[in-house]
Structure 1
Amino acid sequence: MRKFPFIGLFLLLSTFFSCDEKNDATQEQEAQYIQQLFTEIQAMANSVPCENESQWNFTSYGSKACGGPVGYIAFSTIIDTTPFLQKVAAHRIAQENYNIKWGIVSDCAAPAQPIGVVCENNLPVFMY
């Protein structure tokens, strides 16, 4: 059912961030949820050693309160990238909603965007 890969993402986010009055998660609980998503993203991204840089890519993650990504994360194209990128999107949306709901402020500095990934000691390293 690859036609609708974002249905699962939509259901996950609509469940967590529904406008229903039952959504009484505290700021701390929502922050923990966002951190858990990022921990899962990191685990997926780090599940393969970096041995061939041609099999690596990167994407932005997170959402600063004044807009733009928090940073960038490298990932192997060998992993199933669909659920990985869905989780990255879920994290971004959750952080956007969190920032709005709780009136979060941040610096407006844009993180440097990498131009590529190289492998050093089996770890991905960004090229700038």
Structure 2
Amino acid sequence: MKTCVILFLSALTIYSCNSKIKNPETLPKDIIMKKVLNENYASDSSMVKGLQLEIENIIAEKTCSDASKWKISPIGAKPCGGAAYYIAYPKEIEEDILPKINIYTAQESGFNEKYGITSDCLVANEPTGILCENGKAVLQYSSLEESLK
């Protein structure tokens, strides 16, 4: 009986020491590939962030004096889905800014998917309106949403 237990444990030990070969397609071919992947990430991230800043700068150049002349748009993409946040823009630049917002949202969504980005998956609160304060558009939220912030 003792011999059977020793043989069983020996066989179990030998079997458990066998390592599975990882899928070679998921591993970099060599160290240079890892550097290329990091450079691609930095480049892609910079491109997405650059478009976001361009959109925000275009909007920041505009003065808000009449909230009825401004609109709200979802912008960006959370990894779990939905808008990253909301942004106010003047209606006068709608034809120029909406395509940029849509391109940015698609780029961020693609970036999230390509690099396996994760997040908290919280849904961005949708604003209920816009106020003009000191020449800047400020998004309004319902009192319930405001109290949850």
Query: Do the two structures share a fold, i.e. TM-score over 0.5?
Result: yes
Q: 2:48 aligns with which of 34, 38, 48?
A: 34
Q: 1:49 aligns with which of 40, 63, 74?
A: 63
What do residues 43-64 of structure 1 show as CA deviations (whole Å, max 9, x unaligned)?
Answer: 1212210001110111010001
CA distance, structure 2, for counterparts of residue 27 and residue 69 of structure 1: 22
Task: Report whether the alignment pairs 1:114 with 2:130.
Answer: no
Q: TM-score, normalised by structure 1?
A: 0.77
Q: Secondary structure of the residue that 1:109 maps to in structure 2?
A: coil
- The total of aligned residue pairs comes to 104
Per-residue deviation, 1:28 = 0.8
Query: Which stretches of structure 1, 4 residues or longer, exceed 2 Å deviation after superposition?
Result: none
Q: 2:103 aligns with which of 90, 102, 107?
A: 90
CA distance, structure 2, for counterparts of residue 99 and residue 127 of structure 1: 28
Residue 74 of structure 1 corresponds to 88
Q: Secondary structure of the residue that 2:139 maps to in structure 1?
A: strand
Residue 72 of structure 2 corresponds to 58
User: Which structure dedicates a bigger proportion of its chain to helix?
Assistant: 2
Q: TM-score, normalised by structure 2?
A: 0.67
Amino acid at match of 1:50: C
- Which range is displaced more, 44-53 or 26-35? 44-53
What do residues 27-50 of structure 1 show as CA deviations (whole Å, max 9, x unaligned)?
Answer: 111000000000111012122100
Residue 117 of structure 2 corresponds to 104
Amino acid at match of 2:124: P
Amino acid at match of 2:134: N
Q: Secondary structure of the residue that 2:56 maps to in structure 1?
A: helix
Gaps of 5+ in 1: 1-23
Amino acid at match of 2:137: P
What do residues 65-111 of structure 1 show as CA deviations (whole Å, max 9, x unaligned)?
Answer: 010111011101122x1221000000011011111111111111011
